[in-house]
Amino acid sequence: MAVNGFLQKGTGGSFLLIGGAEDKEGECLILREFVRLAGGERASIVVITTATRLPGEVGEAYRRVFLRLGADNVLPVHLDSREKAGDPRHAAILQRATGIFFTGGDQLRIARILGRTLFEHALEAASRAGVVIGGTSAGAAAMGEIMIADGRGGRSPGKNTVKMAPGLGLISGVVIDQHFAQRGRIGRLLAAVAHNPHVLGIGIDEDTAIVVSPAGRFAVLGSGTVTVVDGRTIEHTNASDLQPQPMLALTGVTLHVLPQGYGYDFKSQKPYSPGSSFGEGTF
């Protein structure tokens, strides 16, 4: 689904992308919504633990919480090599899923192991068929066509504050950062957009998520906020200059901060407010 430069390869499925450290013991608002989107009591969820170095522990933790929230079946799957990601038996597992969830860890492991494999093609097919795909922390960052692979937070943005790498590309036209406010990552997201002004920067706080619909908009869910950085309005940046100035100059960039109830429409390229009928209440 192409929407003014933003594209979901899956025309039928939603995405639920979490900034990490989501509630797993209390109300579990975000994970409960994932189970609902996956079919509720009929949900059959595959948990992909490729990003983590503790697959048994992490996979079991999500298996327990999804079952407690009402899912019918939850299967953790750990793919730690491209050979496994190319095995048709693993790809076939996704054909029975109504929800696919990526855990946190290292987003480079997801891209390097799953990228351009039979398993990635199966992911795209599942999304086109209407399967909801979720991810937390690294699992959210890897969904974009490009992703932030590394970069320091908590400091003034420099030209070389951030390192980029290809993601899975299930959603293109965006770059997603996570643990956003908690780790002071506004500088590296600004740098990412300065170097790639054609993409929309989306920074998601902990215990916060965006639910991206096939209609081309996302809604914010959770206890924090989502920061949207729009580079289309940039007037000037020194991001590509060869001069020795190490700090980033950036003027005219548009920034939105959106808590629960707010959202963003890719068609109008504007945020919208709570309680508004869609297309009304935009800013």
Give catalytic residues, as residue numbers: 137, 179, 206
- Rounded to 5 degrees, what are φ and ψ at 255? -130, 135
Which residue carries 């429409």 as its tokens? 265
Q: Determine how β-strand 73-77 pairs with β-strand 44-48.
A: parallel
